[in-house]
């Protein structure tokens, strides 16, 4: 009887581990002050904050793997704004477990879902803003920046902005 109870408990533990996903939980250092209330941040009602604020979150996320990794039961999330000011780029990046950041589960997705847009900035005539967000649950640490889909979208947006073919408003 005790063995059966232990077996059931152990099976439930293994099932929980199997359903758990590892995500990066970090944000750019320039987002740390007033993270949940600042104007430039991921859209929506933020209830949590990333585990680590470090500029390596922008591009060199692999450095943060051991200190920024978190378990997640829903989906990994990545939001990034890139300001292109005449070829000089500044980044704001957030990577997190979706439900830890927003306090709710995301809409159902398959393995990954991304959206991007770009717009010119009225206040800086030679500058534009590129914003992207992605949800994924296909593999551990899937909210990295080297996903092929994100990379090609980024190149398309840069090409469109460079040659004045902006289809994104």
- pLDDT digits over 25-73, tens only? 999 999 999 999 988 889 889 999 999 999 999 987 788 888 999 999 9
Q: Which of 100, 97, 6 is nearest to 48 (CA)?
A: 100
pLDDT class for 135, splitting at 50, 70, 90? very high
6 in any annotated domain: no
- Entry pTM: 0.73
Q: Is residue 79 domain-resident?
A: yes
Q: What is the CA radius of gyration of the chain?
A: 19
CA angle 82–87–147, rounded 5-degree value: 45
Domain for residue 83, yes or no? yes
Does the residue 8 lie in any domain?
no
The tally of domains found in the chain comes to 1
Which stretch, 15-24, 31-40, 91-100, 123-132, has highest mean pLDDT?
A: 91-100
85/160: higher pLDDT = 85
What domain range includes position 38?
22-162
Which residue is it, tokens 């090609």?
152
Is position 3 within any domain? no
Which residues lie across from 127 on neighbouring strands? 85
**Could you say which DSSP state residue 58 is in?**
T
pLDDT on residue 39 = 86
Does 30 reside within a domain?
yes
Reported as a single tens digit per residue, the pLDDT across 62-117 is 888 889 999 999 999 999 999 998 888 999 999 999 999 999 998 887 778 899 99
Whether residue 17 lies inside any domain: the answer is: no
Does some domain include residue 72?
A: yes
pLDDT band of 19, cuts 50, 70, 90:
low
Q: What is the mean pLDDT of residues 3-30?
A: 60
């Amino acid at each position: 009887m005790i063995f059966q109870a232990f077996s059931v408990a152990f099976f439930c533990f293994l099932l929980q581990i199997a359903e758990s996903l590892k995500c990066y939980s970090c944000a750019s250092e320039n987002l740390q002050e007033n993270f949940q209330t600042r104007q430039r941040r991921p859209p929506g009602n933020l209830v949590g904050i990333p585990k680590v604020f470090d500029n390596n979150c922008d591009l060199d996320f692999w450095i943060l793997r051991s200190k920024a990794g978190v378990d997640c039961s829903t989906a990994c999330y990545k939001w990034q704004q890139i300001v292109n000011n005449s070829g000089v780029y500044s980044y704001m990046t957030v990577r997190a477990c979706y439900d830890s950041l927003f306090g709710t589960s995301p809409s159902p997705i398959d393995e990954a879902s991304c959206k991007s847009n770009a717009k010119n900035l009225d206040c800086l005539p030679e500058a534009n803003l590129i914003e992207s967000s992605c949800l994924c649950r296909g593999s551990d640490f899937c909210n990295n920046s080297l996903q092929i889909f994100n990379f090609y979208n980024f190149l398309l947006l840069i090409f469109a902005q460079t040659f004045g073919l902006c289809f994104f408003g």
